[in-house]
Structure 1
Amino acid sequence: MNPDQYTQEKGAPLGSSAYYALLRARASQRRGLTALFALRRELEETVEQTSDTAVGSAKLAWWQRELRTIDAGQPTHPVAIELRSQLDTANIGSTVEAFFEIADGFAMDLSQARYLDLPGLQQYVRKVGGAFSAVLAQQAKDGDGDKEWAFNAGVALMFAEIVRDIGDDARRGRIYIPISEMQQFNVTAADIINRRYSDNFTAMMKFQLERARTGLRDALSSASRATLKRQPVLRAQIAIALALLDEVEGEQYQVLHQRIALTPVRKLWVAFRATRFGI
C-alpha cells in the first residue's frame, strides 16, 4: 500500500466525519491535511490499543523519534513520508513541534484514567484537541492568524468528542468527566462503567453537552468571515459536531451502551451546507 492510500484509510476513512470535513478543503491541500489527521490517529492508537503502560510508552517514544525524521527529511513510516511530501517545507518544523505536544497529551492517557477537576482535564484537551486544530489552521494560506481561534475551536471539538465517546472510553477504562463534576451530580465511575442510566446521569450529560455546544457556538460567533472561509475543514467539523450533539440530546443522552453517530449522507450534507451557505 502506498503512503497516499495508507494515509487516506488511516486519517479519513470513507464515512468518517474527517472524510466529509476534508472534502471541503481545497484539492491542493487535501492530501497534506489528511496526513495530519492520520498522524494524530496513529498517536491516538498507541494508547487506545494497549493496556500495558510500558508498551504504550515505547510506541509513543518510537513516534517521537519518527517525528524528528520528518523535519530531517528521512521519515520511514507511510504517514510520515506522506506528510513530508505534502506539507510546505517552511511549516514542517512548527508542525513537528506541535505534534510533540499532541503526543505529550496522549501520553497522559498512559499515566491517568481519571481527572480530578476541569483544569486538569483542560490540560489534556488543549494538547490533543486545541494543538491539533491549530496545526490544521496553519496549513491554510494566510492561516497563521487563525491559530488562536482554531485552538479554541479544537478544545470545543474535543469536549464534543468526550460526550460522544463516553461509553467507548469507559470500556477502555478511561473516563474523561472530571471527578468533581461526577460528584456534583452524584454519579460514580461504577455507574458509567456498568452502563447505569439515571436522572443524575442525564443531568450530568446535559451539563457536559451544553459546555461542548457553547464552546462550538462561541467559536463560530468569534470567527470572522475571512477566517471561516480560510478554514473550511474546521468549519465543517464544528457543524458536524453540533449536529451530533443534537442527536445525542434527541437520544436522551443514551451514550453508555451505544455510540450515537450521524449517517454518512447527513455528514455530507451538514459539511456542505456549513461551508457553502455558512449555516
Structure 2
Amino acid sequence: MTDPHAYCQEKAAASGSSFYYSFMFLPPERRQAITALYAFCREVDDVVDECHDLQIAQTKLDWWRGEVGRIFDGTPQHPVGQALKDVIRQFSLPREQLLEIIDGMQMDLQQTRYLDWKALNLYCYRVASVVGLLSAEIFGYANRQTLKYAHDLGLAFQLTNIIRDVGEDARRGRIYLPVDELKQFNVPARQLLDGEYSDNFRQLMAFQATRARQYYDQAFAQLPPEDRKNQRPGLVMAAIYRTLLDEIEADGFQVLDRRTSLTPLRKIWLAGMTWFRG
C-alpha cells in the first residue's frame, strides 16, 4: 500500500518547482501539510496539461471534485486525498477553496483566451491566490491582514508564470495575455503562436512585468510584522520568483522559444538567504 505522504513528497520533488524549495526549511508537520496541498494542485493541474481528450479531462476533474467531498467525509481514495484528510482537519482548510482550485483548472478546459485583466484576474485568483490563502492557513498567522498578503502574492506568482510560459502556452493553443492588451500593444495572437519577436511584443511583456511587480510590492506592504516569521515560505518563493522575473526581463523577454529557469543550486541559495534573514 502506498504511503500517502511519501507519494505527495515524490510528486512535489519530481516537479522541480520553486514551490518545493520554499517549504524545505519548515518544521516536519507543516512541511508535510503544505506538500500534500501542493501535490493536490499538481494532480489537478496535470489533468489539464497532460490529458488531450477534452471529455476524459472533464471526467477526471469531476472525479477530483468527488474526491474533495470524500476527503471531507473521511473516505478519500487517492493517496493525495488520504494525505489531505488529516491536513484539512488539522489546519481547518475550507472545502470551497479546494473546489475553487478545480474551478480554475475547469476554466482551462473551457477557454484559451481572456478578454481583459478582469477575466484573467479571476483565473489567477482561482489557480494561485486561493493556493496562497490555503498556504497561509498552514503556515499560521495572527493577523487576518496576512490573508490579503497571501492573496496578492499568489497573483504575483501566477503573473510571473504567465510571463515565463508565453511561448509554451501558445504552443498548447493557450494565450493568457488579455486580448485587449494584445490589441493595445499591437501584438496579434498569431505572432505569439508563430514565436515571432518584435519591439511591440517586448513592450507588452514589460507592461506585464510591471503589473507583476506591483502585486509583489502590494503583497509585501500588507504582511504584518508579527506574521513575517511564519510566512517565510512565501517570502522564499517571492525571492526566487522575483529573481526569475528579473532574469527574463534582462534577457529581453525571450520567452517565445525558450523557458527561463534558475538552477536548483541558485534556488537553494536564495531560499536559505531569505529564510535565515527572517
Query: TM-score band (shorter)?
Result: over 0.9
Q: Secondary structure at the match of 1:229?
A: coil
User: Which residue number corresponds to residue 273 of structure 1?
Assistant: 273
How far apart, CA to CA, are the structure 1 residues paired with 2:120 and 2:173? Answer: 16
Q: Which residue identity does 2:211 align to in structure 1?
A: R
Contact 1:185 1:200 in 2 (8 A): yes
Deviates more, 1:133-142 or 1:117-126: 133-142
1:51 lines up with 2:52 in the alignment = yes
Q: Which residue identity does 1:254 align to in structure 2?
A: Q
How far apart, CA to CA, are the structure 1 residues paired with 2:225 and 2:161? Answer: 26
User: Which residue number corresponds to residue 244 of structure 1?
Assistant: 244
How far apart, CA to CA, are the structure 2 residues paired with 1:37 and 1:71? Answer: 18
How far apart, CA to CA, are the structure 1 residues paired with 2:200 and 2:9? Answer: 41
Contact 2:152 2:218 in 1 (8 A): no
Q: Secondary structure at the match of 1:139?
A: helix
How far apart, CA to CA, are the structure 2 residues paired with 1:69 and 1:233? Answer: 29
Distance 1:179 1:14, change over 3 A: closer
Deviates more, 1:138-147 or 1:31-40: 138-147
Give how far 1:42 is off: 0.9
Q: Which residue identity does 2:33 align to in structure 1?
A: G
1:141 lines up with 2:179 in the alignment = no
How far apart, CA to CA, are the structure 2 residues paired with 1:143 and 1:37? Answer: 23
User: Which residue number corresponds to residue 192 of structure 1?
Assistant: 192
Distance 1:255 1:90, change over 3 A: closer
Contact 1:105 1:124 in 2 (8 A): yes
Quote the RMSD (CA, aligned, Å): 1.6
How far apart, CA to CA, are the structure 2 residues paired with 1:143 and 1:75? Answer: 31
Structure 1 unpaired stretches of 5+ = none
Contact 2:148 2:219 in 1 (8 A): no
How far apart, CA to CA, are the structure 2 residues paired with 1:31 and 1:11? Answer: 11
Count of paired positions: 276
CA deviations on 1:39-82 (whole Å, 9 max, x unpaired) are 01111111111233222211110000001111111111011111
User: Which residue number corresponds to residue 35 of structure 2?
Assistant: 34
How far apart, CA to CA, are the structure 2 residues paired with 1:42 and 1:215? Answer: 27
How far apart, CA to CA, are the structure 1 residues paired with 2:131 and 2:119? Answer: 19
Distance 1:14 1:179, change over 3 A: closer
Q: Which residue identity does 2:275 align to in structure 1?
A: T
Deviates more, 1:210-219 or 1:54-63: 210-219
Contact 1:24 1:236 in 2 (8 A): no
User: Which residue number corresponds to residue 6 of structure 2?
Assistant: 5
Q: Which residue identity does 1:111 align to in structure 2?
A: Q
The alignment's TM-score, normalised by the length of structure 2, stands at 0.94
CA deviations on 1:151-188 (whole Å, 9 max, x unpaired) are 11111111111111111111111110000000111111
Deviates more, 1:264-273 or 1:112-121: 264-273
Q: Which residue identity does 2:76 align to in structure 1?
A: P
User: Which residue number corresponds to residue 160 of structure 1?
Assistant: 160
Q: Which residue identity does 2:135 align to in structure 1?
A: L
1:102 lines up with 2:120 in the alignment = no
Q: Which residue identity does 2:206 align to in structure 1?
A: K
Distance 1:139 1:172, change over 3 A: same
The alignment's TM-score, normalised by the length of structure 1, stands at 0.94
Q: Which residue identity does 2:255 align to in structure 1?
A: V
How far apart, CA to CA, are the structure 1 residues paired with 2:233 and 2:252? Answer: 29
